[in-house]
Every structure is written in C-alpha cells, then in structure tokens.
Amino acid sequence: MTELHPEMHERRILGTELLWAFGVGVLIAATLGMILFTALTMSINPPSNVERIDPKTLHLSGEFAEHNLGTTVGADGSVTARIIATQFMFVPRCIAVPRGRRVTLRLATPDVLHGILVTGTNVNTMVVPGYVAQVHTEFARGGELLMPCHEYCGLGHSEMWATVQVMADNEFRPGADGRVSCAQR
Amino acid sequence: MHSDQPSAADDPTEVGDEVDAAALARVMRVVPLGAGVLAGGAVALLVLGYLLIYWFVFIPRGTVG
C-alpha cells in the first residue's frame, strides 16, 4: 500500500471537515425552519411582552387591584386571567379557564422574581418585578392543572402553587360582571 | 521534572515501537471513517431525541405565545 502524500492527507481532512460542517449546517437550518414553521402555522412561540408596571402600587389601583384579579370575559368574548404572584402564593389560588378557547394570562409581582408553568401545557414564563408577564394559550384538555412557581423566590417557594381549572363550555359561565370563578368540586 | 529522576527514555520498555509506515497508512485510511461514523451516530441520536420530544411532547401541548 502506498503512503499518501502529506498534502493529500490535508485535502482529505479538509474534505471531511467541510462535509461535517455542511451536515451540521443542514441540521441547524432544518431545526430553525421547523421552529419558524410551527411559530407561523401553529402560533407556538416564546411569550414576549414588554409592559412596565410599578410593583409598589400595582395592588392599590388599576388592572391588578384585588377586585380585578381572576378570570374575566370581555364584551368581545376574550378571556383574560389576571394573577398576582407574591411571596408565597398566587392570588387567586384557583384560576378558571375555558377549554378550547384562546385565553390570555397576565401576571405581575409586587416583590421578587417568580416564574410559572402549567403542567401538561407549554405555558411557561418568568414574572419579573416591574413588568407584566403575558401568555396567550389554549387549553385543550379539561380538568385541574397544577401551576407552581418554578423560580426560587424564598423559603416558602415550595408552598407557592395555584390550580388552573379548565372548564367545559357548559361549566364556564361568566356572571353579570363578566367574571368567572372556579367551581367547588 | 527533577534532573535526578530517570527519564522515560532510559527505560527500554517506555521507548516507542518502530512505526511501520505502511501499517500506519492503512490504519489512517480507516480511522477518519470510524470517527465520522461515531460522531455522526452520536449527533443522529441527539437529533432523534430532540425531534421525538419536539413532535410528541412539545407540539401536542398546544399553542402558546
């Protein structure tokens, strides 16, 4: 067997590396294409909302005042749930949402950094003091879903969780003021 | 290393074997292929795992934004 000239060795190595780089490029392009495709056709993308709010006064008046928390159905039929994440609880503790309808979750915190996720769904966001976290989603399955705080926020962090009650259309009935509360089960 | 310690070259068992150039060339023809198969297999498994989770866990969990 003849020995390859060193220059041929170099060429072979370069060829292999270029082939590998091409393959990795194709993989990256395919992955980004898939993410873009699902974002455009299925509305699956990271929640992004930059909206400031004063954490010192958010509970006193305006959108996150106590009487305004929980789920509200607007005149146009849009469903919005407003929640305060505070050490170490969510207010309200139970959030009623309809099944199969677009829901907007809006969260704010008066104290430290929190985070939420809803089990079995892609709902997942940080709740940063000074900002309103907003997530649009649609709950496909009924039942009670756990919504824990997933960002360590202090000694009581492990006790900080809420329930998302996903209701069928015949259960999800707003009152005269457009508000919906969790059903007692 | 201290100068009073023996060098590895002083020990006959530590001295490298004579290299058979033809055998080395033969091995070097196969080694890049093996490395490519190993690295390609590892990346393929990783991508497969990602795709399985993406299509069968992430997508069915529904819309979010």
- Give the HSE-up count for residue A14: Cα atoms under 13 Å, Cβ half-sphere: 6
Of A13, A34, A122, the CB nearest to B64: A122
ipTM of model? 0.77
Q: What is the tens place of the pLDDT at every residue in A131-140? A: 999 999 999 9
Q: Does residue B33 carry a pLDDT above 60?
A: yes
Of A34, A120, A135, the CB nearest to B61: A120
In this complex, how many residue pairs, one in chain A and one in chain B, have their CB atoms less than 8 Å apart? 64
Provide the shortest C-alpha distance from residue B65 to chain A (in Å).
Answer: 4
- Kindly report the number of other CB atoms within 10 A of residue A147's CB atom: 24
Of A2, A24, A38, the CB nearest to B59: A38
Provide the shortest C-alpha distance from residue A3 to chain B (in Å).
Answer: 6
Q: What is the tens place of the pLDDT at every residue in A143-180? A: 999 999 999 999 999 999 999 999 998 899 998 899 99
Q: Does residue B11 carry a pLDDT above 80?
A: no
Chain A residues with CB under 8 Å of B21 CB are 3
Pairing type for strands A179-180 and A102-108 reads unpaired
pLDDT of residue A150: 97
| A29 contacts chain B (CB < 8 A) | no
A126-130, B18-22, B48-52: least confident range: B18-22
Q: Which of A149, A145, A147 is nearest to A115 (CA)?
A: A149
Q: Does residue A1 carry a pLDDT above 60?
A: no
Q: Does residue B37 carry a pLDDT above 60?
A: yes
Q: For residue B11, give the 3-state DSSP assignment.
A: coil
Chain B residues with CB under 8 Å of A12 CB are 32
| A44 contacts chain B (CB < 8 A) | yes
Provide the shortest C-alpha distance from residue B20 to chain A (in Å).
Answer: 11
Provide the shortest C-alpha distance from residue B32 to chain A (in Å).
Answer: 8
Q: How far apart are alpha carbons B23 and A37 in whole angstroms?
A: 51
The model scores a pTM over 0.95: no
Q: Does residue A78 carry a pLDDT above 50?
A: yes
End-to-end CA distance of chain A: 81
Mean pLDDT of A43-52: 89
